[in-house]
Copies of this chain bind each other. A is one copy, B any other.
Amino acid sequence: MLRSGMSETRGYGQFCPIALATEILAERWTPLVIRELLMGSFRFNDLQRGVPRMSSSLLAQRLRDLQFAGIVERRRGERGVWEYHLTPAGRELFPVVEKMGAWAQRWLRHKMLETPNLDPDLLMWDIRRTVLDDARPGGRRYVAAFHLSGVPSNRQRYWLVFEPGHVDLCYKDPGFEVDLFITTSLRVLTQVWLGHVSVDAVMREDALRLDGARRDVAAFRKWFALSLFAPAGRLPAGRMEPASEDALARRAG
């Protein structure tokens, strides 16, 4: 990608639109940073939770590159904290990223479940921000506890705490009474999240268990959205297209 102070040796020297898009998008990590921004993260540390293996110096560099390319704006938010937001040009990268995901869902399905690619922190972080927090029972607090097998012992437990207006992800017992226990393996939860298997199917095989009061169990299917890039995503009844810009807007709003 062309940086502010770089020589001319880095561009591809082609008028072709694909070449110009490639100058920006075909840099290591860049599409993933854009994915995080599209998913609604805008603080440096939140962005980094979505790309945990990227060094902070490189993330800072990429955010500068994206500003220079007119894709990201850096501005001060509440209490003077820096925030990174997509520009209109940046938001219109959604279809590009979407097609990349759709292609991989079709042709690289097996690689998604390879052990080095499974990551409970990342999965839970992804679930937390995609959870439909207006779809839980009543107006009260609602706590869901995940117990994962197939992971290191310090990564087995996660709590989602639904409060009116927001959802918190905890790595330690927050001490609240738990309304729903979700017991499964990291692999199965990832498969469900990606839309490769249905909740019903894995429950029938006892690969996923839900324990709690009847209505708290029933609520799970309401608030547990699939990945935005799952083959059919979670779309209004009757629609079966994959993730679209509309779907994004619906969730972001």
A side interface size, CB within 8 A: 57
Check A21 for interface membership: any CB of B closer than 8 A.
yes
By a CB distance below 8 angstroms, the chain B residues around A123 are 15
| Complex alpha-carbon distance, A236 and B12, angstroms | 32
CB closest chain-B residue, reference A186: B15
Check A244 for interface membership: any CB of B closer than 8 A.
no
| Complex alpha-carbon distance, A214 and B235, angstroms | 57
| Complex alpha-carbon distance, A89 and B27, angstroms | 22
Check A221 for interface membership: any CB of B closer than 8 A.
no
Indicate if the CB atoms of A105 and B17 lie closer than 8 Å. Answer: yes
Query: How far does the Cβ of A88 sit from chain B's closest Cβ, in whole Å?
Result: 9
Given contacts A30-B26, A111-B20, contact A15 B96 (CB under 8 A): no
Q: Which of A78-86, A113-121, A145-153, A159-167 contacts B (4 or more CB under 8 A)?
A: A113-121
A22, A30, A116 — most chain B CB neighbours (10 Å): A22
Indicate if the CB atoms of B99 and A15 lie closer than 8 Å. Answer: no
Indicate if the CB atoms of A25 and B93 lie closer than 8 Å. Answer: no
Indicate if the CB atoms of B89 and A93 lie closer than 8 Å. Answer: no
Indicate if the CB atoms of B17 and A101 lie closer than 8 Å. Answer: yes
What are 21 residue pairs bridging A and B, where the CB atoms are less than 8 Å apart in the complex? A12-B51, A12-B53, A13-B52, A13-B116, A13-B117, A14-B122, A15-B119, A15-B123, A15-B194, A18-B31, A18-B101, A18-B104, A20-B108, A22-B32, A25-B25, A26-B27, A27-B28, A70-B107, A89-B107, A92-B106, A92-B107
Check A249 for interface membership: any CB of B closer than 8 A.
no
Interface of chain A residues 22 through 65 with chain B (CB within 8 A): 22, 25-32, 35, 51-53
Which of B18, B29, B70, B194 lies in contact with A17, CB distance below 8 A? B194
